[in-house]
Amino acid sequence: MLIRDIQSIPDLLQHGAVAIGNFDGVHLGHARIVDRLRAMAGRLGGRAIVFTFDPSPAALLRPEKAPPPLTTTARKAELLSTLGVDAVIVYPTDLALLQLTPAEFFEEIVGRRLAASALVEGTNFYFGRDRAGTIDVLRNLATQAKLELDVVEPLVVDGEPVSSSRVRRLIAAGDVAAANSLLTQPYRLCGTVTRGAGRGASIGFPTANLCDIPTLLPAQGVYAGQATVEHADGSEKIWPAAINIGPNPTFGEDALKVEAHLIGCDETLYGQSLAVDFLARLRDIQPFANVQQLQAQLARDVAAAKAK
């Protein structure tokens, strides 16, 4: 359940267990928090609720430094629901919210809006104006309000805590396999299929060109993945895909593009939304001496993508 109107939160979501945060990417550390959230909700007989923000506070406070998101709000809610969260409540972030002191934030959001019975947070949780609300401040406020608070220690994998910033670094470097090992589901881009130059189709490898992508792009390269096509009747079809991020240097182009060759698909996709999951990096972008060399390499890329 995704709720964007915080003015009318259903009564059934009152007095639940709440986790507040960005939850960008919905990685394994978030999954640990959700496990504890569900356990707390079950013990109290309430619902497991995630309270998150759109846009992220950093996008308003430090737009020039705010990192691109790993997930859209809709995808975030979908992933959290898969983990067992009963509802994701999205606050339309504004400066008025960000100017609340920690005590005011606690009273307005935790107390009045959510009427929470318990909170579950990670150790690096900050809230309120200037991020003045630390986990110790939250503990004191929860004690005063007679709310239970479960503080979840970070999940450490290969000697480093799992975090959205760590996942972001891996994606930006093109190491999607390593990033996926820290995520609850493979890294996904969503966009709208637009018309391209048609060169792919002319050489036997038609591609869906994606635009309006709101999340972080992996580094330039060729990747193996899967593409999900959603039809008008609500049904979905998943195709193996070879994905190109970058220019087409063989044809003298330097514009960055996101193109997915859906292996075996002959549907017309213009104007449709397309979701592409990244499974592995296959190679760097490179120019070829002629179209025949490019075709041979694309055939190898398609075979490698099908094998993933």
Residue 119 has pLDDT above 70, yes or no: yes
Residue 252 binned pLDDT confidence (cut-offs 50, 70, 90): low
> How far apart are alpha carbons 55 and 110 in whole angstroms?
19
208 with 255, same domain? yes
Domain membership flag for residue 127: yes
Q: Are residues 155 and 12 in the same domain?
A: yes
In tens, the pLDDT along 44-98 reads 999 999 999 998 888 888 888 888 999 999 999 999 999 999 999 998 888 888 8
Please check whether residue 259 is in contact with residue 244, taking contact to mean a CB–CB distance below 8 angstroms. yes
Q: Are residues 152 and 35 in the same domain?
A: yes
Do residue 152 and residue 234 come from a single domain?
no
Predicted pLDDT at 47: 95
Whether residue 129 is found in the same domain as residue 198 = no
Please check whether residues 39 and 112 belong to one and the same domain.
yes
* 280: its two tokens: 């592995």
Question: What is the rounded CA–CA span in Å between residue 270 and residue 153?
Answer: 46
Q: Are residues 14 and 116 in the same domain?
A: yes
Kindly state whether residue 167 falls inside one of the protein's structural domains: no
Domain extent at residue 42: 2-161
Instruction: Answer yes or no: do 27 and 130 share one domain.
Output: yes
- 149 DSSP 8-state letter: E
Nearest 5°: phi and psi at 300?
-70, -40
Residue 178 belongs to a domain: no
- Predicted pLDDT of residue 66: 84
What is the pairing mode between strands 118-122 and 160-161?
unpaired
Does residue 274 contact residue 262 with C-beta atoms inside 8 Å?
no
Neighbours of 123 (CB within 10 A): 11
- Whether residues 195 and 147 share a domain: the answer is no
Q: How many domains does the chain have?
A: 2
Tens of pLDDT along 266-287? 888 888 889 999 999 999 988 8
Q: What is the CATH number of the domain that holds 191?
A: 2.40.30.30
| CATH number reported for the structural domain that contains residue 81 in this entry | 3.40.50.620
The answer to whether the CB of 254 falls within 8 A of the CB of 107 is no
| Claim to verify: residue 196 and residue 300 sit in the same structural domain | yes
